[in-house]
A and B are shown apart, each in its own frame.
Chain A
């Protein structure tokens, strides 16, 4: 299908919006009426037609606007993209993975022509066309990881694998849920997850690490994670927290439906062939509470999840103070009816709101 790219912003006037198609394919993260951490991994080998799971790297209506926002973030703070010296090979692996995936999955948007090491890349939506020599950094305007991730939605953590651990040794991180690449770069899997409450005690990270260490080439995996964001702000970085934190206090009962967004991360994991690194793209999808309420099942369920979430998690995810106001809004959309199992909205089988 042809994608109409939105002309929209993720800052200042926040003109971001989701079309009906975007609402229909939003990755609602709750498969039941409650939430607790889990590893919730599955294979990333496609998914239902037109879902965000169908392609290896989903391209949607927000593509151009997200790339514009990334360029603004990088101009303001180039340290959002860093690669330790031993990670350049993994950067080439990543460039290859994305170029091949996108040109195969979206041939009308991206083309890759390869003649030995002479590569020709065409990105039609962004108007980019470059000839370069694969594995020769001098032939690209940026390092390979930065070059391709300036053209791909989502944050990218490029992890080195050694000593039975994963190391955050490179990344492009401009749409993060409040963590700093500049601070965390060089840390191992347990260290960069250190601030996450409860999950260490539950052994989640030990099991997740075991799973990730054994991911094979050609067998990527995926999971969802989520948090809450006021306004459709992509750059919820700790670096700029002193600027955006105050927006959390702009919520009122009247504007909450349009301002409060559920922020869902599609996390995927691909083994990189030459470096044996692992790339961990974190793709962010935003949807306002009022748009979520257009799906009766999601409305019922979001109320129950937010209401019953353990206090530590509501604190960690940054909305403990606003939870009562959120619940006042969400309760209007919960009539107490049961919900069907699974994440899909089931528009045609779930009853409409009975109040």
Chain B
């Protein structure tokens, strides 16, 4: 099941939509994992987009690559990780001209980081389409050591850098592309509740 409806939350928490074809001179679609299915859905609505589309896909173990390639996008790239794809994304954004449409889909962590790159390249975040698919794991920043822990699926969790026990907040920074993790046992060290899976 790749579609998850997030419950209503606080105002800093990102909300996602459903990708829709928009007129544009060119189209940049960045997806990871089940985000590929959102691109397949989009292409089913508007197959003519693909002639001017650059797909950047991070499969992360999923097998959607061949299906995306069958869409015959103008350019197609598969990367082993977001970090590996990053320099290509930056290059595409720096070469872009007026009329580029940006579509991001997949996990929150990937979309947040890609959105941040587009913002740094001068795109207004409200003009970038996003659609969540797949895992609800989060990219978390430890407010104490500032370290990022990727793919956090339990709350509380242990910071992968400083080892503090952090609870998962909904407070989100676009600039850091991460949710905030705050020490859960600061007032009573060692008193850490059992972890539960997010949205379980």
Q: Do A and B come from one complex?
A: yes
Within 8 A of B (CB), among A156-207: 180, 182-187, 190-195, 200
Instruction: Tell me the smallest distance from the CB of B3 to a CB of chain A, in Å.
Output: 25
B160-200 vs A, CB cutoff 8 Å, 1 = contact: the mask equals 00001000011101111000101100111100000000000
**Residues on B with beta carbons closer than 8 Å to the beta carbon of A242:** 144, 164, 183, 186
A241 within 8 A of B: yes
Instruction: Tell me the smallest distance from the CB of A33 to a CB of chain B, in Å.
Output: 29
Establish whether residues A238 and B143, one from each chain, have CB atoms under 8 Å apart when the complex forms: yes
Instruction: Tell me the smallest distance from the CB of A177 to a CB of chain B, in Å.
Output: 14
**Residues on B with beta carbons closer than 8 Å to the beta carbon of A180:** 143, 180
Establish whether residues A241 and B186, one from each chain, have CB atoms under 8 Å apart when the complex forms: yes
Return the chain A residue nearest B178 by Cβ. A183
**Residues on A with beta carbons closer than 8 Å to the beta carbon of B144:** 238-242
A246 within 8 A of B: yes
A249 within 8 A of B: yes
Within 8 A of B (CB), among A190-248: 190-195, 200, 238-246, 248
Instruction: Tell me the smallest distance from the CB of B165 to a CB of chain A, in Å.
Output: 9
Return the chain A residue nearest B186 by Cβ. A245
Establish whether residues A193 and B183, one from each chain, have CB atoms under 8 Å apart when the complex forms: no
CA distance A194 to B182 in the complex (A): 16
B81 within 8 A of A: no
A299-321 vs B, CB cutoff 8 Å, 1 = contact: the mask equals 00000000000000000000001
B12 within 8 A of A: yes
Return the chain A residue nearest B180 by Cβ. A183
Establish whether residues B143 and A193, one from each chain, have CB atoms under 8 Å apart when the complex forms: no
Interface size on B, residues (CB 8 A): 23
CA distance A187 to B187 in the complex (A): 28
The B contact surface, by secondary structure, is loop
CA distance A183 to B189 in the complex (A): 24
CA distance A249 to B183 in the complex (A): 15
Interface size on A, residues (CB 8 A): 26
**Residues on B with beta carbons closer than 8 Å to the beta carbon of A185:** 175
Within 8 A of A (CB), among B1-43: 10-13
CA distance A195 to B143 in the complex (A): 15
**Residues on B with beta carbons closer than 8 Å to the beta carbon of A245:** 183, 186-187
A249's partner among B169, B176, B180, B187 (CB-CB below 8 A) is B187
B53 within 8 A of A: no
Instruction: Tell me the smallest distance from the CB of B9 to a CB of chain A, in Å.
Output: 9
Establish whether residues A186 and B173, one from each chain, have CB atoms under 8 Å apart when the complex forms: yes
Within 8 A of A (CB), among B30-65: none
B146 within 8 A of A: yes
Establish whether residues B186 and A246, one from each chain, have CB atoms under 8 Å apart when the complex forms: yes
**Residues on A with beta carbons closer than 8 Å to the beta carbon of B164:** 242
Knowing A186-B173, A238-B182, A239-B143, say if A192 contacts B187 (CB, 8 Å): no
CA distance A246 to B164 in the complex (A): 14
Establish whether residues A195 and B174, one from each chain, have CB atoms under 8 Å apart when the complex forms: no
Return the chain A residue nearest B164 by Cβ. A242
**Residues on B with beta carbons closer than 8 Å to the beta carbon of A239:** 143-144
Establish whether residues B186 and A184, one from each chain, have CB atoms under 8 Å apart when the complex forms: no
Return the chain A residue nearest B144 by Cβ. A242
**Residues on B with beta carbons closer than 8 Å to the beta carbon of A191:** 11-12
Knowing A194-B13, A195-B10, say if A186 contacts B186 (CB, 8 Å): no
**Residues on A with beta carbons closer than 8 Å to the beta carbon of B171:** 183, 194-195
B113 within 8 A of A: no
A194's partner among B12, B146, B189 (CB-CB below 8 A) is B12
A183's partner among B143, B183, B188 (CB-CB below 8 A) is B143
B130 within 8 A of A: no
CA distance A171 to B11 in the complex (A): 21
Q: Which of B141, B176, B180, B187 has the most CB of A within 10 A?
A: B187
**Residues on B with beta carbons closer than 8 Å to the beta carbon of A182:** 146
Within 8 A of B (CB), among A97-156: none
Establish whether residues B187 and A246, one from each chain, have CB atoms under 8 Å apart when the complex forms: yes
A-side interface residues toward B, CB under 8 Å?
Answer: 180, 182-187, 190-195, 200, 238-246, 248-249, 321
CB-based closest 8 A-B pairs:
A245-B186, A194-B12, A194-B10, A242-B183, A191-B12, A194-B11, A186-B175, A190-B11
Q: List 15 A-B contacts (CB under 8 A).
A: A182-B146, A183-B171, A186-B175, A191-B11, A191-B12, A192-B12, A193-B11, A238-B180, A238-B182, A239-B143, A241-B144, A245-B187, A248-B187, A249-B188, A321-B187
Known: A180-B180, A184-B173. 4 other contacts (CB 8 A): A195-B10, A245-B187, A246-B188, A249-B188
